[in-house]
Structure 1
Amino acid sequence: MTDQIQYTNPSELIVKDQPEFKPVHISIAGTPHRIICPANEVKSLEAAAEKLNEKIRDIRREIKGKAPNNEELLVLVCLDLYDQVQTLTQDAHNRRHENNQATALIDKINKDAQSILR
C-alpha cells in the first residue's frame, strides 16, 4: 500500500490515507484499560466492552455461592464466546450445505422439466 505524502513545508509532513487513531478508555470487569484504536472504530470498541461487561454480569448472577475473581470471570467469558463462535460456524456450515442441496434439487427439477418439454 502506498500512502500519499504531502509536504506543506519542510518541518511539516502530512500522510494521507492513514487512519486517525484515538485513545479510548474502557472498563472490563471494573478494570480500566486505555486502548488506542482507529477513530472510526471507537463506538464498536465501546460496544464490545459493554457486551463483555454484560456477559460478566450474567455469569456472576449464574454462579451461586462463590465470588470468582476477574481472571476466572474472563476465562468463563472467553469459553462462552468460543462456544458461541463454534455454534455460529456450524450453523453457517449447515446453511451452506442446505443451500447446496436445494440448488442441486432445483437444477434436477429444471433438467427434468426441460427433458419433458422436448
Structure 2
Amino acid sequence: MTDNQSNAIEKQPKNNPSQNTQAPNKDVAVQKSTQSGASTSSTSSQANGKAAEPQIKKVDIAIAGVTYPIFCPVHEQEELLSAVSYINNYALDLKRDAPSLSQESILVLCCLNLYEKIHANQRSDEDRLQKDKQSQALLNKIMKDAHSIL
C-alpha cells in the first residue's frame, strides 16, 4: 500500500459504482509495484502451465459510504482491510458528530488523527529507549560498586 502517481483510483459513491464523480486532478493513486515487474494478469503464469494468484489485487474498500478501488499486494490485503475497518469506524463517528462535513474533510481529519497517534507512539518508543539506557547505566554502576566492595 504505497503511493504511485502513475495509476489513479476512482472515487465512487457506494450506490452508483459506474459513475465517476471526481475530477481527474483529484484522483488518488495507490498501488505498490513489484520489484520483479510482474504483471497482475495471469498471462505469465499461464505460460508455465499453472494459474497463479496475481501479486497485486484490486480491492474495493468503503469509507464513510464511498467506495474506493485500491490496488494492493495480495499479502497485504488483510492488513488493508483491518486499516479500512479502523478508518471507516472513525470516519462514521465523525460523520455522525458533524453531518455537514464533506467526505474530503472527514478523510483529512482521519489523516490528522492517525498522524497524532503515530507521533505519540514514536515519542513513547523514544522515551522507553531513553529509560532503558538510564536503567542499564544504573545497573552497570550498581554492579561496579558491588564488585569494588567484594
Question: Given the two structures, how large is their TM-score scaled by the length of structure 1?
Answer: 0.77
CA deviations 1:12-37 (Å, max 9, x no partner) are 369xxxx7221111112221111121
CA distance in 2, matches of 1:97, 1:61: 41
> Would you tell me which structure has more helix in proportion to its own residues?
1
Is the aligned partner of 1:96 residue 2:122? Answer: no
Is the aligned partner of 1:39 residue 2:68? Answer: no
CA distance in 1, matches of 2:121, 2:83: 18
Where in structure 2 are there 5+ consecutive unaligned residues?
A: 1-34, 37-45
Higher relative contact order (CA 8 A, sep 6+): 2
| Paired amino acid for 1:97 | Q
**Which of 71, 77, 80 does residue 113 from structure 2 map onto?**
80
Secondary structure of residue in 2 paired with 1:68: coil
Larger gyration radius, structure 1 or structure 2: 1
> Would you tell me which structure has more strand in proportion to its own residues?
1
CA distance in 1, matches of 2:96, 2:126: 33
- Whether the 8 Å CA contact 2:61–2:69 is kept in 1: the answer is yes
CA RMSD in angstroms comes to: 2.2
Q: How many residues are matched? A: 103
Q: Percent identity?
A: 35
Where in structure 1 are there 5+ consecutive unaligned residues?
A: 4-10
- Whether the 8 Å CA contact 2:64–2:95 is kept in 1: the answer is no
Q: CA deviation at 1:61?
A: 3.7
CA distance in 2, matches of 1:62, 1:74: 14
**Which of 80, 85, 95 does residue 60 from structure 1 map onto?**
95
Q: CA deviation at 1:60?
A: 2.7
Secondary structure of residue in 2 paired with 1:35: strand
Q: Match of 2:138?
A: 105
